[in-house]
Amino acid sequence: MTTPDLEAIEIASADDVPPGTPFEAAQAALAHCVERLESGEAGLDEAVRVYRRGAALRDYCERRLAAIRAEIEELTVDGQGDGAPPPPGDAPF
């Protein structure tokens, strides 16, 4: 699977980020937005567009992190619901 070129895609909401986009790609695109805004070189209209894009990418990254956290919690719950990993001797492999 190839990573989408996020710079070529108009992103105004987290839903505009293509499904399956790696977290790292979205994070790099977000960093690019921050750099563009911090440079002060963008005009007002472009700055608003870049800010909106950055907010959407931040939302996407937060959603991905929440999904990963939930997956990790599901993998580490020991049946008692306390989130403790199973004892080493109980590993299925």
Q: Is the pTM of this model over 0.85?
A: no
Summarize pLDDT for 53-92 with one digit per residue, the tens: 999 999 999 999 999 999 888 888 754 555 565 566 655 5
Say how many domains are in the chain.
1
Does residue 1 belong to any structural domain of this protein?
A: no
Q: Which two tokens stand for residue 83?
A: 């989130």
The three-state secondary structure class of 88 is helix
Q: Which two tokens stand for residue 16?
A: 């505009």
- Please list the alpha-helical segments (H only) found in the chain: 23-39, 44-76
Does residue 38 belong to any structural domain of this protein?
A: yes
Does residue 45 belong to any structural domain of this protein?
A: yes
Residue 37 to residue 48: CA distance in whole angstroms = 9
Summarize pLDDT for 12-29 with one digit per residue, the tens: 999 999 998 999 999 999
Enclosing domain of residue 36: 6-85
